[in-house]
Amino acid sequence: MFGKTNTCFTMSQGYLDLKYKPQSNDLVCLFYVEPAEGVSLAKAANHVAGESSIGTWTEVSTMKDDIWGKLRPSIYSLDEENKLVKIAYPLELFEPENIAQILSSVAGNIYGMKALENLRLLDVGFPSKMIKKHAGPRFGIQGVRDVVEVRERPLVGTIVKPKVGLPPREHANVAYEAWVGGCDVVKDDENLTSQGFNKFKDRITETLGARDKAEGDSGETKVYMPNVTAETYEMLERIDYVKDHGGRYAMVDVVTLGFSAVQSVRQKDYGVVLHAHRAMHAALTRNPRHGITMLALAKLLRLVGVDQLHIGTAVGKMQGPKEEVYSISQAITQKKVEEKQDRLPQLWGQVKPVFPVCSGGLHPGHVPELMGFMGQDIIIQAGGGIHGHPEGTRQGAEAMRAAIEATLENQSLHQWGEKHKPLELALRKFK
């Protein structure tokens, strides 16, 4: 069929090969494909495969044997009942270190095709040659634990509340109260950058000063995660400023910022822990029939090299079932991920694990359930669940820390609360 140079080809015939076995150098994608009315799953899948690689909407005389033979993707699995499609793409289609180009291919124009009613990128599997082009996390879980000097329990974190509005000194005072109450980490919220009421440099100097005081008063290592999200060059200058003033962390809003900007931060290798907030992700991930899953985004971010990533909680205010949150945790922490119906296998090689962050509507009463299915290698981050304590931020942090201690000792929170008043008061409020 394709034996002659300049042979025309038809998309509906071109890419389906159910006998194909993915090769070690293939990038593999799992899609949910919902065809438009009157379009078969096979035809819709061919549109996806072609548009994301070498094809276009019509027959072309410029297709050559070498292009077809070297760059043709293969649709190797069609699940008609569940509308699941697996496509293997040869590595040569991609600039392996360029995440923007990779996404422009497998999650780009394909969403706008008339042949589709809905399309969702469920998962992506990276070949080892592509993985080796990326640094991955600089610190990972163990490196973060070394920074914070906490070895065998979840880290306790909070977000300064209200989200915006506090001037630098008040912001720093809230952080101090959280730290001395028992929080290991305090971070800015996703929409606090350098507004008029709280300029970035003023906030950094005030809050890092409060951190130093909290470390002296508590005898524990404390960290501050300033939100450095901004235009790329400005963001890099802000990270320099944080580091110059003794900061150990930088937080970036990875979705709104963009993968290329995140890569810029990682490749500069500032030596600070890179905390990834996923603000705006639900615009892409929430619709179960369209868009891209948080699982796929999380794997891309591990590849790029963030050290910590928000993954959901399944018990707080944010949407996301337990099995989804758990699968994301596995994808960013394990060296090897096994294939299942709705996910692809992955070998990470020497790429370090990302520290999962559970945040969104959490309070001390959630801790036993959360640790029960997530384990100890998590960062439990509560905003309102700490600052909303009846006796204030410090006692709210004490309550959260006590809830973790009780869970580690296999004690009920209510029993533990009999000897820890802040926890008892928190349990009464957050029923």
Give backbone dihedrals phi and psi of 419, rounded to 5 degrees, phi first.
-110, 0
343-to-29, 125, 290, 324, 338 alpha-carbon distances in Å: 9, 9, 16, 11, 8
**Cα gap 310→285, rounded to integer Å:** 14
Q: Which of 43, 64, 132, 161 is catalytic?
A: 161
Q: Which of 47, 83, 86, 277 is catalytic?
A: 277
Give the residues across from 79 on adjacent strands. 84
Contacts 24+ apart (CB under 8 A), 399-402: 399/364, 399/423, 399/425, 399/426, 400/156, 400/158, 400/182, 400/183, 400/363, 400/364, 400/367, 400/426, 401/156, 401/181, 401/182, 401/183, 402/182, 402/364
Amino acid at 316: G
Is residue 277 annotated as a catalytic residue, yes or no?
A: yes
**Cα gap 218→12, rounded to integer Å:** 67
**Cα gap 92→103, rounded to integer Å:** 15
Is residue 64 annotated as a catalytic residue, yes or no?
A: no
DSSP 238-282: HHHHHHHTT--EEEEEHHHH-HHHHHHHHHHT-SSEEEEE-TTHH
Length of the chain: 431
**Cα gap 300→296, rounded to integer Å:** 6
CB 374 within 8 A of CB 385: no
**Cα gap 216→427, rounded to integer Å:** 30
**Cα gap 249→251, rounded to integer Å:** 7
Q: Which residues are catalytic?
A: 161, 277
